[in-house]
Each structure stands twice: as structure tokens, then as C-alpha cells.
Amino acid sequence: MIYTKKSPALLIMGLVVLLWGWLNQSGNLDGVQGWLHTSAYADHVKAQDKYSAEMRAAAEKAAAEGKPAAQLTAPKSKFNDLKAEQANYSFIFGGIATLLGLGVLAWRPREGHLDYYLSIFPGIAYLIFIAFVVRWGLDPLFAGWGKAAEPTLGWDFAKIFNLNYVVLGILIGILIVNVFRIPDWAANGVRTARFFLKTGVILLGTLYSAAELAQLGALSVVMIGVFVLGSVWLVLIMGKRMRAENSMTAVLSAGMGVCGVSATVAASPVVNAKAAEIAYTIGTILVWGVACMFIFPTIGHLLGMGPVQFGAWAGTGILNSAQVAGAALAFDPHGIETLKVAEIFNITRVLFLPLIVLWLAAWYVKHEVGAQRVNLGQVLIAKFPVFVLGFILMFLLSTLGVFSPAGHYQGKYFSADQVKQDKLLGDRDLKALEVEMARLRGPEGTQALADHFIAKAVNIGQRHATAADALQGLQDLIANRKMTSRDQDGVLAATAKLPGLEAGAKGAIEKASKAAWHSSKTIAAFREWLAWLFAVGLIGLGMQITVKALKQAGGKPLIIGGVVGTLKAVGSLIVVLLFVREFI
Amino acid sequence: MPLKPVSCTQDPLPPASFTPARLLLCHHGTPGAAAAAALALRIAQPGYTDLIHCLVVPDLWGGMQGDDWLNNASTRDAFGDYVEKLLEGDARRELAVVEGEARARGIAWRPLLRYGDPAREVLAVAAAERPDLVVMGPPRRKGESGLRSRLDLEQLVRGLSCPLLIAPRP
């Protein structure tokens, strides 16, 4: 069989992206980019005007004094940075896609491995192309529409529904597979979406400190342990009460308890699930997963949850593992912090999977007359998630300092003199902080701050932080123009979430925190790649969600799944809000 | 308010005004399929009618690995093989039931196992086999149990160039 499909699609995509890169580099797209990125463009124009005025003044002064004109450094512009980034990515992707596209057209494929492996590139390029459209076009477009509609609606619909590049990418994937169908030339490559996600998780291993991993790992083992075992047990009980078939009960308990579709796929052959049972279970889990991906981030924002709390909740409460990653990125699309927490929970789930499959296999053999025994050792080896070893390897390399300076994760930039002058807070930041501090020292401000810290339960040392710690932290920040400790950073990060805090003060705290957490260039590049890997992977996974599969949700699995899924989501939310502290 | 089914006649058999030489029985595992099979066997004339039994495994199974991404390729392959065997086993069992009945009545019977969208596959088979009559079961009522793999009746009727007979609800 020949897998490579002769199509000019890859070449066309390559040329279109190359053109986009060139138009960005030459400035011909400034009007479009300015429309898409209104705020960055406004800042850019303001800075350019100021720079031009300074240049003119300097030139006039130099001319009057008969001296050569002074050289002024052009101001940094977020707008220029984003254009340059788009141009760079476009040239890399467009160049490769154009060459491969020409190759596909010129080459006469013959049966064999080469044909098979080459056939995946058009599909991969298709996913990346969609990711570009979504991240560079639709994401800022929806953000702009949300803001534009805010005065009329009274709320920003794009923000409330988390219509960022992650959610939009998954939705576009679902739309393509169900309405337009995946083109034949892209079908093989689209299936590699899983590879992108697994690579993303492996790369994520570089972003944890040993302390973080130990604490998140312990938290996830406890949460997943309680809720996985609890859900599996509850489904087994409910299945028996509702007189469901043993095989249906077993496969449903794996899906509801561990990691959704993945667990159903792993457990079905072991418990001899029937075709209809598999269809009902997977349909039910997919419906739940897609719904949760939209509901969870909105609730998380409404409850003011932070990355640790939300990551822990999504990682425990969402049935399906793909939607855990989707929800984490939907909640926090421009940072990796929530994803970092959620993925630890995903990894813990998948490590639980072989054990749960073994448990269910044993349960099935005990309850079903004539059931065949399974080879436990074989199940354990076959179901072990190999990519987790890659994650651990990257974590070890990172901890040994291969990718980042030694001490990087311990907050080197809090105490050393490594914060560059231009990263220190400016006069305007200090003024904003001073005004807010004066307000917070008043009786109303102190009370609001105290209530906020009781609700947030931020841990410093062996106690919870208080309003006094927040005021001290602000005072130190004003004095030093930078964060000086992890505790201060944690306390002030919570302070920045205080409702009603003035935007300038909030921005100053965030700026100082960012300067303290300054990453090595390698780690910063990893973070950027990660965002792309997950974006591309999730678009591809969206293309695996068919309405035909969703429509199978029904029967006893829907009833049992509805009860257990709701209990799991609500129960884990309560536990997270009561016991999980915001900052680890 | 849902419409009540109306019984047209006491005898579900149509008047035997013609006997098809090639009869296409469509069957993709729905409960109404048994009624269609029974009707087709009554219409078919031993020694004259070729009964072509088309069983379509609906393509909803193509999306049954959903968005699983955590499993190893070997686990996904094992699942794919398992589901394939299950579906093939189910299909062969259904075919065997009709085959037994047809053989017992001396009717020439030929199976066609297809995978895809039911309406599209039936149209493709009809185009290739050129039957004189197509017989199929009634669409399921809303809320009835079973997989949701509804055949698009309108698409089928628009595309068929031979009479279509729908068996009454059993």
C-alpha cells in the first residue's frame, strides 16, 4: 500500500506561510497586526512617537551645539517582537514545508518504510498551519471581540468562555473532523498528535524543581489515590445495583476512575467488554470531557483559583486525560504553571492505570463465570507508560543543571545581584505601590486584605501568611525595587489577586515577580516550544473527537457516569478549596 | 407529542405483483433488521431470487479510540484488534442467522460486509449490484436503546434507482 498522497497542499501551505513571514518582516502587515493586537500596537505607536521626538530634539540640540547627533537606542516593542517571532517561525516552517511539498510532488513513492514515514509530514504541517492560524489570528481576534462586546454585554465573553488559542484549536479540530473531514493527504500525520503531546510532557520535565515535583507528586498521589479508587469502587457498586453486565461495569469503572478514554482503551480487552459497552462508555466520557473543558476553567476563574488549586482540581476532577491538558491551558494559556500541576496529575493517573487494569481484571475473573485469567506481568509491562521515563530523564538532566544555571529553581534571582537594572521597578511602579499601600493600611483596606489572606491560605514556613506579611512585603518591594525571597513573592502574588487592587500596583508586583523568576534562555525556549507542542497536539486530538462517537453516550453508562463524574468533580473541588494551598 | 405508528394493513406483506431477481437486504445490526430479513425471505423466490445480504458496520467505530493519547501504541493496537474481532464476530453471527434461513428455504444467499456510512455504503452496493428491490428495516424510534448509527433515509431514497421496501416495525 502507498501511503503518500500526491497533493500540492503541503507546498501551498509552505508558500502561504513564507509569504506571511515576508509580509511581517517587511512591515506590510502592520495594519492587520495593529488591528489584531490593538493594545501592543498602541504602546508601540506611543513609544515610536516618543522615540522620534527624542531623536528630533537630540538632533536639533546637537546641530545647535555643532556636535554630531547623539545615538539613541530604539525602544523595545512588544509589537515588533511578536512580528519578528511570527516571521522567524514562518521562515522555518514555510521553508521546510515548501521543500517537502516539492519533494512530495516530484517523488514517486514506492511501498516501504520511507513512504510510510514521509506520508506523515503533510498532516503534521496541516496541524502546525492550523496552530499558526489559531494562535496568530483567531486568539487575538476573539480577545479583541470579547473586549469590544464588553460595554454592550457587560462581560468579556472571550475571557469568560476562555476562547483562547487552546480552546479554539480543539474546537477547530472537532469542526474539521465532523464537518469538513480530514483530507486524505493529512490523515496519517494527524494521527501523530499524540506524539506532540507526549513530547510536550517529556519537555515539561525540565520545568520542575525537585521540591516542586516532590510536593506536587505527593499531592497528586493522595488526590488521585482517593478519587481514582473511590470512583472505581463507586462504579463497581452502582453497576451491581443497576444490574449492569460485569464487563460493562468493569470498563466503565476504568474510564470513570482513571483517565477516561485511555483507561477504557487499556481495560476493554482485559475485561472482555462488548462492542456496545465500549461505545456507550467512550461516548459518555467524551461528552463529559468536552463539557468539563469549558466549564472547569470558567468556574476556576469565578472562584479566583490559582495554578496549583486549578491544576489539582482539573487533574483530579476531569475524567479524560486529554481534556485535563486542554482545561489547564484554557485556564492559563500564556503561562505554563497550571499545566505543570495538571500534568503531574495526568502522569500520576497513567501510572495508576496498569494497577487499576490489574484490579479490574482480577475483579472480572472473580465475578464472571468462565472469564479467562490474564497474565498480570504482561499487563503491567504492556500498559506501562514509556514516555514517563522521558519525563523523568529530562527532570534529572534539568536538576543536574544541564539546561539552566545551578540554583535556578531555588530562586537565584531573589537574593543575588543578577536582576538587571532595567528589570528593577521604575518610579511609576513605586508610586502605584505606595498609593495602594497607603490605602491598604487604612481600616477597610486592612480588613479586606486580612479576609483575602484567610481565604487564600498562603503558606510561609509553618504558618499561613497574614495581612501584615503582605504589607511588609509591599514595603520591602518598594525599598528594594525587586523581590528578595520566595516567601515575599508568594505573599505578594496572592496580594496581586486582591479584588479591587489598582492595575498599576498589580502590574508592578507581576513585573517584580517575573524579574525574580527570570529563566535561562534554554528553559525559556522550552516553555515556548511547550506551548506550541500542546497547541498542535490538542488540535490533532480535537480531530479525533467525532460527533458519531459523542452520540453514543447513553444507557446505564450515562447514568452511572453522570453520578460518578459529578461527585468526582464536586468532591475534588471541595477538597482542593479546603486543603490545597495556592502556592507550593 | 410523538406520532403513534399507524398500521396500514393486517398483513405486512405487499401484494406479490413482482418477484425480484436480485434482492438487496440491508442490515446493519439494528433491531428492525430482523423484520427486514424476515420480509426479504418471504418475498424472495427459491431458485429465482438472489438474496444479497449487505451488512454495514457503521463508521462510528473509527472514532472509538477518541482522544486517547496516554497509551502506548501496543495498547492501542491491542484495543483496535479486539474491537475489530468483536465487530467481525457480531457481524458474522448476524449473517449466519439469515444464511441459515435462506439455505433452509433454498434461496441463493450472498453476504456483503461493508464498513462506512450506512446510507453511502448501501448506495455503493446498490450501484454495483443493480438489485430489483432493496429491503430494509424501519428506522428506530427516538429513545429506543441501541447504538446511534441512524441511516440517512433521505440520502438513500434520493440516491436509489430501484424500489425501496421498508419492513414494518416488529
Q: Mapped to the 3 state alphabet, what secondary structure does A448-472 carry?
A: HHHHHHHHHCCEECCEECCHHHHHH
Residues of chain B contacting residue A350, judged by C-beta atoms under 8 Å apart = 70
Give the model confidence (pLDDT) of B84-134 as tens digits: 999 999 888 888 988 999 999 999 999 999 998 888 999 999 999 899 999
Q: Give the domain B28-166 fold.
A: Rossmann fold (3.40.50)
Residues of chain B contacting residue A261, judged by C-beta atoms under 8 Å apart = 65-68
* Distance of residue A381 Cα from the nearest chain B Cα, in angstroms: 10
Q: Looking at the DSSP assignment, which residues form a beta bridge with residue B114? A: B56
Look up cell 477518541; give the residue. Answer: B66
The grid coordinates of residue A312 equal 489539582
What residue of B is the nearest CA neighbor of A537?
B69
B66 and A197 within 8 Å at the Cβ level: the answer is no
CA distance A116 to A191: 13
B68 and A265 within 8 Å at the Cβ level: the answer is yes
Residue A345 and residue A312 in contact, taking contact as beta carbons nearer than 8 Å? yes
ipTM of the complex: 0.81
Q: Looking at the DSSP assignment, which residues form a beta bridge with residue A464? A: A459
B50-54 mean pLDDT: 92
pLDDT value of position A162: 82
A 198-227 near B (Cβ less than 8 A): 198
Look up cell 440491508; give the residue. Answer: B26
pLDDT value of position A462: 59
* Distance of residue A174 Cα from the nearest chain B Cα, in angstroms: 11
Per-residue pLDDT in tens (0 to 9) along chain A, 584 residues: 888 888 999 999 999 999 999 999 999 999 999 999 988 888 888 888 888 888 888 888 888 888 777 777 777 788 998 999 999 999 999 999 999 999 989 888 888 888 888 899 999 999 999 999 999 999 999 999 998 898 888 888 888 888 888 889 999 999 999 999 899 999 999 989 989 989 988 988 888 877 778 888 888 888 888 988 899 899 999 988 988 888 889 888 888 888 888 888 888 888 888 888 898 888 888 888 888 888 999 898 888 888 888 999 999 988 877 788 889 888 888 777 788 888 888 888 888 888 888 888 888 888 777 767 777 777 777 778 888 889 899 888 888 877 766 555 544 455 555 556 677 888 888 898 999 999 999 888 889 888 888 877 776 765 778 889 999 999 988 988 888 777 788 888 889 888 888 888 888 898 888 777 666 677 778 888 888 998 999 999 999 888 888 888 878 888 898 899 999 999 999 998 888 876 54
Name the DSSP letter for residue A176: I
The grid coordinates of residue A413 equal 534571582
Chain A interface, best mutation among B69, B93, B142, B150, by max A CB count within 10 A:
B69
Of residues B10 and A549, more confidently modeled: A549
pTM greater than the 0.90 cutoff: no
pLDDT value of position A406: 53
Residues of chain B contacting residue A353, judged by C-beta atoms under 8 Å apart = 70
Hey, is the C-beta of A281 within 8 angstroms of any chain B C-beta? Answer: no
| Lowest mean per-residue pLDDT among A337-346, B56-65, B138-147, B152-161 | B138-147
pLDDT surpasses 80 at B53: yes
Give the model confidence (pLDDT) of A154-165 as tens digits: 888 888 888 888
B79 and A265 within 8 Å at the Cβ level: the answer is yes
Listed by start position, the domains of chain B span: 28-166
* Distance of residue A364 Cα from the nearest chain B Cα, in angstroms: 17
Chain B interface, best mutation among A262, A374, A378, A547, by max B CB count within 10 A:
A262
Residue A552 and residue B147 in contact, taking contact as beta carbons nearer than 8 Å? yes
B83 and A275 within 8 Å at the Cβ level: the answer is yes
pLDDT value of position B9: 45
pLDDT value of position A420: 65
Q: What is the dihedral of CA A32, A33, A38, A43, to 10 degrees?
A: -130
Name the DSSP letter for residue A259: T
Q: Looking at the DSSP assignment, which residues form a beta bridge with residue B166? A: B136
Chain B interface, best mutation among A247, A321, A375, A544, by max B CB count within 10 A:
A544
Hey, is the C-beta of A437 within 8 angstroms of any chain B C-beta? Answer: no
pLDDT value of position A78: 84
Beta-carbon contacts of B159 under 8 Å, excluding residues fewer than 6 positions away, are B119, B123, B126
Query: What are the two backbone dihedrals, phi and then psi, of residue B50, each rounded to the nearest 5 degrees?
Result: -95, 115
CA distance A204 to A344: 10
